[in-house]
Amino acid sequence: MNARLALVMACLFALTATSACRKKSAAPPDPLRRAYDVETDWNDPQKMIPLNYQEAQGKRLFYADCVWCHADSTPAGPSNRSNVTPAPPLMNDGATLNGESDEYLRNIIMLGGSAMGKSAMMPPYGQTIGEKEANQLIAYIRAIAQPPYQPSAKPQSGYPAKQ
């Protein structure tokens, strides 16, 4: 056997040996790993809505700040929604929210209900979340809307903030 052939064989042996060693050990599935990758359709628990990164960040914020008033149940049990007048729209209420422009949603989230001529029961979040987070919330609101949100379906309403 010449030296070159011996070298090739040694390499082949090394390759098979290392790839055999590299067999992945099966990690136990982490149930929380997909917690922000999908949202269960609020109107149909059988249906999963896949979320992209932006929407997943919005979901995280929604479950921290908004779920208490804008959903009928929360991870901590019943929500506050039935105690609030006027009743806050469910956050997947496409019939109400699909017609609102991103700008209007951003304004009411950042400036609060009273700045937009709505109820002061909708708090202003501009001091605690930035525009980036507001946009993530909007992406999430659009993703879970029922009926589904179609950007060009309706001319968007413009609601400038009160000066």
Site residues (CB under 6 A) for ligand HEC?
65-66, 68-70, 84, 86, 88-89, 96-97, 100, 105, 108-109, 113, 118-119, 121-123, 125, 137
Buried b (16+ CB within 10 A) or exposed e, 116-131: beeeeebebbbeebee
Tell me the H-state helices in 22-99: 53-61, 67-70, 94-97
When the beta carbons of 52 and 96 are compared against ligand HEC, the nearer one is 96
49 vs 125, beta carbon nearer ligand HEC: 125
Q: In 3-state terms, what secondary structure has residue 74?
A: strand
Minimum Å gap between C-beta 63 and ligand HEC is 10
Taking the C-alpha atoms of residue 156 and residue 113, their distance in angstroms, rounded to an integer, is 19
- The minimum distance between CB 56 and ligand HEC, in angstroms, equals 15
Write down the least CB distance from residue 28 to ligand HEC, Å: 34
Tokens of 103: 């700008």
- With respect to ligand HEC, which residue has the nearer C-beta, 49 or 104? 104
Q: Which residues, at least 6 apart from 141, have a Cβ–Cβ distance to it below 8 Å?
A: 58, 62, 91, 92, 97, 105
| Structure token pair of residue 69 | 């008033």
> Which lies closer to ligand HEC via its Cβ, residue 111 or residue 121?
121
Closer residue to ligand HEC in complex, CB, 49/139 = 139
Instruction: Give the shortest CB-23-to-ligand HEC separation in angstroms.
Output: 46
Rounded least distance, CB 38 to ligand HEC, Å: 19
Which amino acid does the sequence have at 26? A
